Structure 1
Amino acid sequence: MSSIRITQAVGLGGTNSLNDVKAVQTALNKLLKLIPPTQALIVDGRLNSRPESSKTIGAIKLFQSKVLNMVRPDGKIDPNGRTHKKINEKLIAETSQVHFKLPIASTDVQKLSESDYQDIANQLGCKIAAIKAVAEVESAGDAFFPNGKPKVLYEAHIFSRFTNHRFDTSHPTISSRSWNRSLYTGGSQEYARLEKAMELDVTEALKSASWGRFQIMGFNYSASGFASVEAFVKTMFSSERKQLDAFVSFVKSKGLEKHLLTLNWAAFAKGYNGSQYAQNKYDIKLQKAFDKYDEK
């Protein structure tokens, strides 16, 4: 959407024809970043029986206040008026931005070799079994789904937090104020949820998923050695070895390599998975996986 056209006034005192109101609601949803903490509007072309209390009117007034710096926002958009022109200006600017698209999946990704594991173990000063244990617990040891895309798990509660809960009401399956296990679809179907979130906010959606063999959260892109989450995601698609290198950068940046060396799984799990690690018995799972690989 690069601009909107309305035939008659929308808002307080406006004609509020169905299509005009829908156009305004759709446009404001594209510009939610400019009017926090506004949540996404339902695009139904209605202002309800009391327009002054309508969420759409509230969003119009907030746009006028925050973007147009109107001291007394009137909640009305006249065709080709000041507010209408500014909305179109911001829509054009939004459309002109380059939007990130997920890379094309490859079914010919080079697998990790024992020498890769040995190289990383040398860098971290730990046993190979320790690295393999983390990989098994995080992703069952697989870096990619059968379709060639890197393993992901999309977290609706993270996306909700990063987008100031704007989409909780309009998109409850991909934006949730609290963690909800029932929202997971599992496997490669997680990409469907991720891509829906990307339609709302690309960068925050990418930050809200864990990626690859070691399930590093997108918001940890900097700690993993990348300048942007987009660059991080591109690398996750590229090869298993680069996923492994990102893991090394992340572990070092968080000071966790000492726990891999001493096999202090509780301390490692806390630093890697957060303070709630014990609820999912991450430390116990890591110990069991390490014991399995250390016997080989």
Structure 2
Amino acid sequence: MQTPSVLKKGDTDSSVLSLKQQLALSSVPPADIVLNEIFDESTEHWVMAYQTSVGLVVDGIVGDKTRSVLNLGTKSAALLGHQDLERAADSLNIPLAVMRALNEVISLGMGFVDHGLASIRFERHIFYARLKRNGHHIKKLSVMYPDLVNPEVGDHLTGMLEWTRLHRAMSIDKQAAVESTAWGAFQTMGFHWKALKYASVDEFVSKMNRSEAMQLEAFVRFVKAHPPLQRALQQINFTDFARLYYGVAYAKGQYDLKIAKAFVKYSKNRG
């Protein structure tokens, strides 16, 4: 059986037992822990204690980052830490529980793919519009490269496959390609670089490829650049935030409810 990519409270299968056994080799189990296949509240507390001890974001969820630290025995400086969330919360003047909830719901979890490159999502419809604006022969290009130059949303790939596609798009128009890409764990669009006060699009990309903390900083800059977003977070109004941030898709995705649920969890747990 393939190990699930994410384990959290409520999961019940053999991979949970394997996780507990691995945790037992790396940290002290709680007194009430039972080595079984149930990811219960005690397991969640154990995971949080381990995440705290190694400097990871403390969410009680075992995703790629927690699993990689368990396997390697150390946390990479490129990975997001609890102190990064504290700094972001202070910068936005919002409760830490709000920032932790946003990180759980909004972020992709892992801000990097192989070879130390940021997680990306190339948006072919945005590339189409930017090429058209820049005076390219858009009809010819859309016939030659339908997977790159296309007015329709979609055709997203994963990992290094998306990077391969981005490099192909860069051969047509480097800046338009980079600006048509969502970067990092928080998927900040490249075309925002100037509004977010980066010196150049190259500086923006360099920082997105450097660390998840810098990817979070881009998200913080985005929220600050849109005062209604920041005000909604300060007022703990997740419906307004989700509507402004996601647009009409927020209701279908129930993003406001997901953020609210995570906020309640982190308000109770101040670890």
* TM-score normalized with structure 1 length: 0.57
Residue 257 of structure 1 is matched in structure 2 by 230
Q: Which residue of 2 aligns with 1:170?
A: 144
Q: Does 1:129 align with 2:97?
A: yes
Give me the whole-angstrom Cα distance separating, in 2, the residues matched to 1:188 and 1:134.
Answer: 26
Structure 2 vs 1, CA of residues 129 and 140 (structure 1 numbering), >3 Å: closer, same or farther?
A: farther
Secondary structure at 1:158's aligned position in 2? helix
Match of 1:140 among 103, 108, 113: 108
1: distance between equivalents of 2:166 and 2:130? 14
CA distance in 2, matches of 1:137, 1:189: 25
Contact 2:178 2:190 in 1 (8 A): yes
Contiguous gaps of at least 5 residues in structure 2? 1-74, 133-137
Distance in 1 of aligned mates of 2:76 and 2:187? 21
Q: In structure 2, the residue corresponding to 1:200 is in which secondary structure?
A: coil
Aligned to 2:12: none
1:223 to 2:203 alignment: no
Give the 3-state SS of the residue equivalent to 1:213 in structure 2: coil
What CA distance in whole angstroms lies between the structure 1 residues aligned with 2:160 and 2:268? 32
- SS of equivalent residue, structure 1 residue 120: helix
Q: What is the correspondence of 1:144-223 to structure 2 with a 5 Å cutoff?
A: 144-164=112-132, 165-166=138-139, 167-180=141-154, 183-223=155-195
For each residue in 1:149-195, what CA deviation from the matched residue of structure 2 results, as whole angstroms up to 9, or x when unmatched? 11111111111111114532211111211213xx1122332112211
CA RMSD in angstroms, aligned pairs only: 2.2
Measured against aligned partners, the alpha-carbon deviations of 1:105-164 in whole angstroms (never above 9, x if no partner) come to xx9543333222212211211122322332333333222225421111111111111111
SS in 2 for 1:242: helix
Q: Residue 273 in 1 paired to residue 246 in 2?
A: yes
Deviations 1:240-268 (A, max 9, x none): 22222222211111112111122222222
Secondary structure of 1:210's counterpart equals strand
Change (3 A) 1:109 1:198: farther
TM-score, L = length of structure 2: 0.62
Deviation at 1:226, TM superposition (A): 0.8
**What is residue 119 of structure 1 aligned with on the other side?**
87
Gaps of 5+ in 1: 1-106
Identity within the alignment, %: 36
Distance change in 2, residues 1:222/1:173 (3 Å): same
Q: How far off its partner does 1:207 sit?
A: 0.8
In 1: Cα distance, 2:248 partner to 2:195 partner: 18
Compared CA separation, residues 199 and 280, structure 1 to 2 (3 A):
farther
Paired with 2:263 and 2:195, the residues of 1 have a C-alpha distance of 25
**Amino acid paired to 1:116:** D
Three-state SS of the structure 2 residue aligned to 1:191 is helix
User: Alpha-carbon deviation of 1:216?
Assistant: 0.6
Counterparts of 1:146 and 1:294, CA distance in 2:
34
Letter in 2 for 1:243: Q
Q: Distance in 2 between matches of 1:294 and 1:271?
A: 24
Of structures 1 and 2, the larger Rg is shown by 1
CA distance in 1, matches of 2:130, 2:149: 10
For residues 134 and 260 of structure 1, the distance between their equivalents in structure 2, rounded to whole angstroms, comes to 10
The DSSP-based 3-state class of the residue aligned with 2:182 is strand
Cα deviation, residue 205, structure 1:
0.6
| AA in 2 matched with 1:148 | G
TM-superposed CA distance for 1:232, in Å, is: 0.7
Q: Answer 1 or 2: which has greater helix percent.
A: 2
Contact 1:132 1:141 in 2 (8 A): no
Q: 1:17 is matched with which residue?
A: none
